[in-house]
Structure formats: C-alpha cells, structure tokens
A and B are shown apart, each in its own frame.
Chain A
C-alpha cells in the first residue's frame, strides 16, 4: 500500500515539475524545475528495478545538463523575452 502511494506521488510530481518547467518565465527557475524532474525520474527508475539507469539519470540529467543550462544562461539572458 505504501508502495503504491509513493509511486503515485512520484508520478504526480513528474507532471507538476514538467508543467512548472514550461510555465516559468525565469529561466533559472525553469532549469531547476527540469533538474527536479530528472531527480524524480531517477527515483522512478529505481522503483522500476533499474538502479544503474537511475545512477546515470541522476548524474547526467540532474547534474551535467543542469550545469550546461546554467552556463548557457550566464552567456545569454536570464529571462525569457528580455527582462520583465
């Protein structure tokens, strides 16, 4: 029972994190929401009995691609469509 509740919470969190990534106009917050999405999907991989895929997803999705996005934001602007 606790397993199903945890699983449903993670799936709901995935949808919410994806929607937040689309909704934020502050790109740094959007990148952090995408990193949270990657973290939740690595938990989902762990629940589905794929721990090595979960390690890769946590390292590359939540770590390296977030660093690449932050470097890109430092090189360009922080807000979508110019400063608010």
Chain B
C-alpha cells in the first residue's frame, strides 16, 4: 500500500492494541470481554498486515508466535476451569471470588462505580479468550495473505 497508509498503520497499531487490552481487562465490569477485545486487537494486526507486504510482515509477526498465543489461550482457559477440581468443586467453579488476593475483593452491594479487582476466575478466563482470539483471527488474515503471495509467484513462473 501507499506511504500514507503505512504511516497511519504505524501510528494506529499501538493505540488499537492498548484499547483492545483495555476491553479485555475490564471485561467483567464494562461491556465487552475476551472475544470483543481480542477481535479489536486482531483488527490492529490486520491493519499492519494489509498495509505492508507479506515478506516484511512475516519477520515481525511470526506464525509460530500467533499459534503459541492460540495454544496458551486455550490451555489457560481449560486449565483455570480444571483447577477447581483441586478444591473438590465442580468444573468452572469460581474459587477465587470473595477470597481476598488476586481478583478476590468482595463486591459492594447496591449501585457502585465498579472495582477492577473483583470477579474471581472471570477476568482470568477473559484474558485467556482474548489471547486466543488475538492469535486465531490474526492467523486467518496471515494465511490469506500467504495464499496471495503464492498465487502471484505462480503467475510469474507461468509468464
């Protein structure tokens, strides 16, 4: 793409990344959550992928890193859910809520501005889903672009 698009992508990429991480981190008290925040982050990655050529992008955003994000997200989600078995509780039991410590502050009764350090395992699962969607949706765009490059190479070989 043109130099203007590349300049705009350079400026917008960190802003979009931070906004997506904000949506993921505040998923349990404001609208949004893991999937929405991950989709916003993947939009920023897609902006960079569309603005630059495939050979430049593959050096910065490796396929291995995105696949690792997918695996870490899915394993983290199922691991947090399975960890409840250690306490003799059922699958997906919220063992962190109201215990103090990480995400464990008891929620105030009635209307209140919202405390970030609440929710128990819900914010951890939001982070897991956010990382997984970041990897998965970016990988879709990256594989589409790799197919485009192979098609152009074949045309050059044929001509």
In the bound complex, how far is the Cα of B47 from the Cα of A71, in angstroms? 11
A-B contact count (CB 8 A): 53
The 8 closest A-B pairs by CB, nearest first: A63-B43, A59-B39, A51-B31, A67-B46, A52-B31, A55-B36, A75-B148, A59-B40
Residues of B contacting A75 in the complex (Cβ-Cβ under 8 angstroms): 147-148, 151
In the complex, B35 has a CB within 8 A of chain A: yes
Size bracket, chain A contacts: 10 to 19
Size bracket, chain B contacts: 20 to 34
User: A residues bordering B, Cβ < 8 Å?
Assistant: 51-52, 55-56, 59-60, 63-64, 67-68, 70-72, 74-75
User: B residues bordering A, Cβ < 8 Å?
Assistant: 23, 31-33, 35-36, 39-40, 42-43, 46-47, 49-50, 137, 140-141, 144-145, 147-148, 151
B50 to chain A, nearest CB (A): 5
In the bound complex, how far is the Cα of B158 from the Cα of A14, in angstroms? 44
Residues of B contacting A60 in the complex (Cβ-Cβ under 8 angstroms): 39
Which secondary structure characterizes the binding site on chain A?
helix
B31 touches A68 (CB 8 A): no
Beyond A55-B40, A64-B42, A64-B46, 7 additional pairs, beta carbon < 8 A: A55-B23, A55-B31, A56-B35, A59-B36, A63-B42, A63-B43, A71-B50
